[in-house]
Amino acid sequence: MPHRAFIGLGTNLGDRAVNYRQAIQKIGQLPESRIVRHSSIYETEPVGDIEGVFLNGVVELETEMPADLLMRRLLAIERTMGRKRSAGRKPSPSRRKYRPRVIDLDLLFFDKEIIHTPPLTVPHSRLHERRFVLAPMAELAPALIHPELNVSISELLAGLKSPQRPYADVLRELCQIVAGPVSAEVVAREAPVMVEEGQKLARLHPNIVVKCPLTIEGLKATKALCARAIRVNVTLIFSPLQALAAAKCGAAYVSPFVGRLDDIGQDGFTVVEQIVKVFRNYTFPTEVLVASVRSPNHLLRAAEAGAHVATLPFNVIKQILKHPLTDIGLENFLADWHKTRQRI
């Protein structure tokens, strides 16, 4: 029966994307092994005083090789890709941990084995402290139990403390990732201060859309910001007349919260349908952003109603993309492919 291994990848030198793809390709070519799946790629700030942002991820591998042989093969891949590890006397811990690298391949888990035979340590000795390992691991095996700590991957990830970052820095990073509008909410309650905050937020990046609440002060701020050519998303809308007032003030978006209306026994999508109809009657350019989406059915109804945008949690995205017939069809296709004993 094949072994189940998880391999961590990291690169921050040269063309990182090419390095990452090449490493996965070489792992996939290991004898008596096959890649089951691999995680998303994570961009990670380096630890220590080194320069160069890392690309990190995890690969799940089935292999007939024992752990020590697999590790030797991974080190050989590193060498062929130009990685130079220290030879001879061990370097100091700081020099050993924090170095730029073309590629770094770590054997994180190997079945449920616990191995402390230098140079091999499995599970990897510090993976429980590293978000850039735990986050991709949680994609692949959230329920996997760390054999030494007796805690699941998802629990280890949840237990990591998130360093508090400046709001402006987070918004700038989001705008670099998202090629489109990014809502940034004001926190004041008085219109003059909302306008001041909104102007500061809008200066951070052209993608920023200032988010104001549907209050009298929020509408005053919306009108003032729109007069300065700053886009506004008016939020916390629960009726079509609230949406109409926001559109009259020049809002680029209005955000009805359908899930919260459902919570109090009202049909949130009746409100969405009414808003869409009113806007069409008067040809408002304001777009309807359906918020508090909690299920695939919510998203379908938003699309049927003619909403322009929806915000939804990642678990709903995964649900809408999954269908049992898709899984069965893929399994049948791959079964037929494996019968040919070919490789692409």
Task: Find all residues with CB under 8 Å of 271, minimum gap 6, and list them.
Answer: 238, 239, 240, 256, 258, 261
What distance in Å separates the CA atoms of residue 215 and residue 71, rounded to the nearest whole number? 61
Closest CA to 25 of 13, 5, 40, 9: 9
Residue 301: name the closest of 323, 320, 279 by CA.
320
Give Cβ neighbours of residue 289 (< 8 Å, ≥ 6 apart). 233, 253, 254, 255, 256, 307, 308, 309, 310, 311
Q: Which residues share a beta bridge with 58?
A: 8
The residue written with tokens 């898709």 in the block is 326
Helix (H/G/I), strand (E/B), else coil: 62: strand
Name 166's Cβ contacts closer than 8 Å, sequence gap at least 6: none
In 3D space, the residue among 74, 68, 70, 67 whose CA is nearest the CA of residue 104 turns out to be 74
Q: How far apart are the first and last CA of the chain?
A: 24
Helix (H) or strand (E) holding 74: helix 67-80
* Residue 211 annotated to the active site: yes
**66 close to 120: Cβ distance less than 8 angstroms:** no
Peptide bond into 136 cis (omega under 30): no
- As given in the structure block, the two tokens for residue 41 are 């790629």
The one catalytic residue among 211, 220, 248, 339: 211
Whether residue 110 contacts residue 31, with contact meaning beta carbons closer than 8 Å, is answered with: no
DSSP state of 128: G
Positions annotated as catalytic residues are: 211
